Amino acid sequence: MVQIQFQYQGELRCQATHAPSTTELITDAPVDNCGRGESFSPTDLVATALGSCMLTIMGIAAEKHGWNLSGAKATVEKGMVHSPVRRIGTLGVELWMPGGLDEKAQRVLEAAARNCPVWHSLNPEIELPVSIHWGS
């Protein structure tokens, strides 16, 4: 298990510390929810977790097969909904993969992306459109 510790800093800001590494990050409430939006919001971190998880799991699959994913990129666009409660409604993912990957590699990597632990941990009500650009 990994422990993450939190301290409320005031003014809708929290400091999180990753206990094993002592790496710290700050979260801030978004502007549309009473905050200043000066750092990642908690829901931004969900989008961050999804994009980095997808690339990481694709990287693991690529390394197993000897494929080079250097330069692969992702963006995640988070959309909020407000009814019946405020929550993440959409996490649209775009992935840009390097050239030179054949059809088998593309199938394996796409399956890997859609099987990352964060993907499987998200509420099924969240829309998760994914676009992959091969050879970008």
Contacts of 85-90 with CB under 8 Å at 24 or more apart are 86/33, 87/123, 87/125, 88/43, 88/46, 88/47, 88/123, 88/126, 89/125, 89/126, 89/127, 90/126, 90/127, 90/128, 90/129
- Residue 127, domain CATH: 3.30.300.20
Q: What is d(CA 62, CA 45) in angstroms, rounded to the nearest whole number?
A: 25
Residue 89 has pLDDT above 70, yes or no: yes
Residue 105 has pLDDT above 80, yes or no: yes
**Do residues 62 and 127 share a domain?**
yes
What pTM does this model have?
A: 0.94
**How many structural domains comprise the chain?**
2
pLDDT of residue 136: 67
- Kindly state the average pLDDT of the residues 118-127: 97
- Tell me: the pLDDT tens digits for 21-79? 999 999 999 999 999 999 999 999 999 999 999 999 999 999 999 999 999 999 999 99
Q: 3 falls in which pLDDT band (50, 70, 90)?
A: very high
pLDDT over 90, % of the chain: 99
**Do residues 64 and 108 share a domain?**
yes
- Domain carrying residue 49: 42-133
